[in-house]
Structure 1
């Protein structure tokens, strides 16, 4: 569980530097991970993006100082990295629902985001099956959306995207030309700060002429860790994702290679059935 210990060290570093510059590369180095992998693991373990956590902690600390110290709003704003009182007031209001000035008069309305801590435990009661496979590059076709990861909005948006695609006939049309992997849900791209992702509902390309409103993308050659998912959609999938990042990565010699991730929905079976079988594919490399 060495990786989870390093994540705890990252939290300590963030706390010690809330008043200064926090560089994502430096934080990731403490965890001995790439910036990409650190941000993915942090998000999966905590439900927050790193930048969201830092922002919430800074606003929490700022609120405490507003109430307990005779400090001006502008001084606290600059102390926690805001360029102007207006920017600070906007961020403060988004978290607490009131302005910094009003907070001085009514502290009962404030929220607090406590410092995170990681419970480092050995979980051997439930085995986690997986296999490692090599797969050459292949082309997929489908439709995509861009969604923010802040506050878990991506989960809600992606679920709606699937619902709409099932209702409007897109997934049925896509399924006619599916390869052996069936329908794919692909986290195609992550922005630098992990605030947005591009998500693609797709299938392996098996047709020459692709509809004009479909996207065509190449999935690079990779070594994949493949995890079986047993159970009805959509509830079964998030549980396995969480275990991958909280248990599997910390206890193995692999790390995320930074490429697209795939949810594989095989053609056979009813996704609403408790016996439904699907898979999660994650590109990996040796540490």
Structure 2
């Protein structure tokens, strides 16, 4: 994975003055998928691949903007169909318009090339297992919420708090499949994992396909497949979020698996009364790489 991402960074540099980055072809050639590469890139570098490409393009475009070429020619060179679209992207990166930069030379914000450096890490083993799940249904109460990297998500907290107290017991009584118990389920996540992007959150449980489901519940259908399950204990949700990040930085690069599209699930095995600490399992859908 480290070699693949290094090659992807070089592909970005080779694609700065092309219409589009052909990530799908690159992923196929690497024996990977576009979905997995986007998720790993965002997790490792802290920004979506598309955003990095835009920043790099606007960084190198400054030399052309300060020259004598027509703005439309420059826009087309960097993959934009109009000077207006190019101008919006330029301002979004630099905070200055093309006209201001041509007149005053700045201010400018550059995006340096990202580089991967190998360091000795991973000295803490990750508690993980691989399991097969048959076709399953996830049922519960869904809401659209923004993605938040760190700390408790207040939108999810508000969604759960708004549910009647008896709902939690009713859901637990319905559960009859793995993972057991009440689950925190996230689906429809942006492949680039952009903070603030919308996702579907389901407060629910796992049931067998033949289970009778009350009509008021939302349903996510899961096809049979493999899952990586990561167990963690400690401060909640900090320990869980650290484990989630470590799957990208440590576990996936060291193992012959990649993410496949699908929801992620968190099962709370034990928790303190005030929920400040907990033992959880993070379930991620995977396939052989």
- TM bin, normalised by shorter chain, reads 0.7 to 0.9
* Equivalent-residue separation in structure 2 for 1:16 and 1:174 (angstroms): 53
Q: Which residue in 2 is equivalent to 1:284?
A: 286
* Equivalent-residue separation in structure 1 for 2:190 and 2:150 (angstroms): 19
Q: Are the equivalent residues in 1 in contact too, given 2:151–2:238 (CA < 8 A)?
A: no
Q: Which runs of 5+ in 2 are unaligned?
A: none
Q: Are the equivalent residues in 1 in contact too, given 2:75–2:83 (CA < 8 A)?
A: yes
Residues 72-151 of structure 1 mapped to structure 2, 5 A cutoff: 72-141=70-139, 142-145=141-144, 147=146
Give the total of aligned pairs. Answer: 277
Q: Which residue in 1 is equivalent to 2:181?
A: 182
Segment drifting more, 3-12 vs 233-242: 233-242
Shift of 1:186: 2.5
Task: Choose between structure 1 and 2: higher helix proportion.
Answer: 1
- CA distance 1:171–1:56, shift in 2 (3 Å): farther
Q: Secondary structure at the match of 1:70?
A: coil
Segment drifting more, 191-200 vs 127-136: 191-200
Q: Secondary structure at the match of 2:188?
A: strand
Shift of 1:224: 1.2
Which of 3, 6, 11 is matched with 2:4 structurally?
Answer: 6
Q: Are the equivalent residues in 1 in contact too, given 2:185–2:204 (CA < 8 A)?
A: no
Segment drifting more, 102-111 vs 51-60: 102-111
Q: Are the equivalent residues in 1 in contact too, given 2:72–2:82 (CA < 8 A)?
A: yes
Q: Which residue in 2 is equivalent to 1:168?
A: 162
Q: Which runs of 5+ in 1 are unaligned?
A: 148-152
Segment drifting more, 26-35 vs 122-131: 26-35
Which of 228, 232, 236 is matched with 2:235 structurally?
Answer: 232
| RMSD of equivalent CA atoms | 2.8
TM-score by length of 2: 0.83
Q: Which residue in 2 is equivalent to 1:44?
A: 43
Segment drifting more, 163-172 vs 256-265: 163-172
Q: Which residue in 1 is equivalent to 2:276?
A: 273
